[in-house]
């Protein structure tokens, strides 16, 4: 309407030609590869892909893993291949770098899963939301809830990798380096709560919103 895209459920209305249209999940950038008369829609490796979050906790969790995993597919495949080559050739440096990359990408998936689960549990099993992915960049565009619940949804993403890393300590004797690496990466997500980007910025915005509402 009037060159704008709208999502009344999420309170979004932006210019169709603006970058915010894709980043807010109101549209998707599509990359088509054509060979002869056939065309294939490429996964969102370099473009922005948006997908509505389905109702229900399990369905929402599986959809987020599939959608975000599709965006990371190229990187995951490259790192997995490098890991196999490193192990097969005895090039342990390549294998180590590959493992570090896989741990980092895995932590991002777990981080976003934490947001999704907390949102579905605390805000609503049918509350509207959009999953937006561009390569390894993932976000959940969602409704804001009550102050405490909204803060919990924000924090849940950063805490999810820590929770996922805890069971690995039972394997410390077998793979101490991997366990320590995973734990340090998980703690890095928690540190992100105190820096002015990502979840840290979201917490600051929530605090400013509460101050404005109180005045």
Range of the domain at 80: 4-214
Cβ contacts of 93 within 8 Å, gap of 6 or more: 86
Question: pLDDT per residue over 149-197, tens digit each?
Answer: 999 999 999 999 999 999 999 999 999 999 999 999 999 999 999 988 8
1/27 Cα distance (integer angstroms): 14
Q: How many CB atoms lie within 10 A of CB 35?
A: 7
Residue 142's DSSP bridge partners are: 129
Per-residue pLDDT of the chain (215 residues; tens, 9 = 90+): 445 555 666 666 656 555 665 666 666 677 777 777 777 778 889 888 999 999 999 999 999 999 999 999 999 999 999 999 999 999 999 999 999 999 999 999 999 999 999 999 999 999 999 999 999 999 999 988 889 999 999 999 999 999 999 999 999 999 999 999 999 999 999 999 998 888 998 898 888 875 545 44
pLDDT (0 to 100) of residue 145: 84
For the chain, how many structural domains are there in total? Answer: 1
Q: Are 130 and 51 in contact (CB under 8 A)?
A: yes
């Amino acid at each position: 309407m009037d060159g704008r895209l709208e999502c009344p459920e999420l309170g979004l209305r932006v210019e169709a030609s603006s970058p915010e249209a894709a980043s807010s999940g109101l549209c998707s950038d599509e990359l088509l590869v054509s060979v002869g008369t056939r065309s294939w829609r490429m996964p969102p490796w370099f473009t922005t892909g948006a997908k509505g979050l389905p109702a229900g906790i399990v369905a929402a969790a599986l959809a987020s893993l599939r959608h975000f995993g599709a965006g990371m597919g190229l990187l995951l495949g490259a790192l997995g291949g490098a890991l196999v080559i490193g192990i097969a050739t005895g090039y342990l440096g390549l294998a180590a770098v590959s493992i570090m990359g896989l741990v980092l990408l895995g932590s991002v998936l777990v981080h976003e899963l934490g947001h999704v689960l907390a949102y579905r549990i605390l805000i609503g099993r049918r509350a509207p939301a959009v999953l937006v992915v561009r390569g390894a960049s993932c976000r959940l565009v969602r409704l804001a809830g009550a102050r405490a619940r909204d803060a919990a949804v924000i924090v849940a993403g950063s805490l999810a990798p820590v929770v996922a890393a805890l069971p690995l300590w039972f394997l410390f004797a077998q793979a101490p380096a991997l366990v320590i690496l995973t734990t340090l990466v998980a703690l890095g997500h928690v540190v992100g709560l105190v820096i002015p980007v990502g979840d840290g910025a979201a917490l600051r915005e929530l605090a400013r919103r509460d101050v404005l509402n109180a005045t």
